[in-house]
Amino acid sequence: MARPSPVQPPRAPAVRFAVDPGDIPPEKAARRLHLTAAEFRDALPRLLARGFPAPDPTTGMFDLEAIDRWRHARHLRLFPELTAAAPPAEPPRVNDMGARFVEAAKRRRDG
């Protein structure tokens, strides 16, 4: 007599979209710096004193992007896109008479 086949439990649906983590636990932050968890814990006060991004006060997780930007900021010569351009000291002067008239009228109207 043949045994009935056991009922298969339903399969979990496959993950449709992979989500890269933004915040990571201290163990992974340590790994990002190629440190053990204990080495990271010991070094964290010195890292924070040097501007290392602090963990989130609610979750205790570290922002992975902030860690990478902090690492790159140590070498601004190699990552110039991390330096902010200084805003111009004053707006450029308008040399066109018509444009100067419009600007003066706008200043009078707006106060």
Q: pLDDT tens-digit profile of 1-45?
A: 667 666 777 777 777 888 888 999 999 999 999 999 999 999 999
Q: Tell me, what DSSP letter sits at residue 59?
A: T
Residue 89: inside a domain: no
pLDDT tens-digit map of 77-109: 888 887 776 566 666 665 677 777 788 888 888
- The rounded distance, in Å, linking the Cα atoms of 62 and 29 is 7
User: Residue ranges of the alpha helices (H) in the chain?
Assistant: 26-32, 37-49, 64-73, 97-110
For the stretch 45-49, contacts whose Cβ atoms lie closer than 8 Å and that sit 24 or more positions apart, written own/partner, are: none
Query: Total domain count for the chain?
Result: 1
Q: Could you tell me the residue range of the domain that residue 57 belongs to?
A: 23-81
